[in-house]
Amino acid sequence: GAVVSQHPSWVICKSGTSVKIECRSLDFQATTMFWYRQFPKQSLMLMATSNEGSKATYEQGVEKDKFLINHASLTLSTLTVTSAHPEDSSFYICSARPLTSGHNEQFFGPGTRLTVL
C-alpha cells in the first residue's frame, strides 16, 4: 500500500524554539495533505488542510502564524511550529490522499511526538 513518512519521529525542544516536521508521500502523489494533532487519550483533531502550490486552510482556533504549513511539491508538506511552548507538546500526524484515488482513502504518517520543555 501507499506509504507516508514523517520526520522526525520524536523531537524535544526548548520553549521558544521553532520545530519543522516533514510529511512525505513515498510512492504516490498527493495534491492535498492534512495535518492533525492528538493530545494524550484524545482523538485526532484536524489542524489544517495543505494544498500543493497554494495556501493552507486552517481549522477554527488554529493559529496560522504559529503553525506554518508549506506544501511545495506533490510529495512533501512541512509543518513548522514557531516559538513552541509546552502546551504545543503533542503528537502531530499528517495524512495524504492519492491524486488518483477514486475514494476518500487517506494514508497516514507514523506521527511526530513533540515535547517542548
Regarding 98 and contact with other proteins (CB under 8 A), the answer is: no
Buried b (16+ CB within 10 A) or exposed e, 60-82: eebeeeebbbebeebbbbbbebe
Regarding 62 and contact with other proteins (CB under 8 A), the answer is: no
Under 8 Å between Cβ of 69 and 35: yes
CB 15 to other proteins: min, Å: 24
H or E segment and range at residue 20 = strand 19-25
CB 93 to other proteins: min, Å: 5
Considering only residues 19 through 48, tell me which ones interact with other proteins, judged by CB under 8 A.
Answer: 32, 34, 36, 43-46
Q: State which of residues 19, 21, 93, 114 lies at the interface with other proteins (CB under 8 A).
A: 93
* Strand partners of residue 33: 50, 96
61: left (phi over 0), alpha (psi -120 to 50) or beta: left
Regarding 100 and contact with other proteins (CB under 8 A), the answer is: no
Residues that bind other proteins (CB under 8 A): 4, 6, 32, 34, 36, 43-46, 49, 91, 93, 95, 97, 103-111, 113
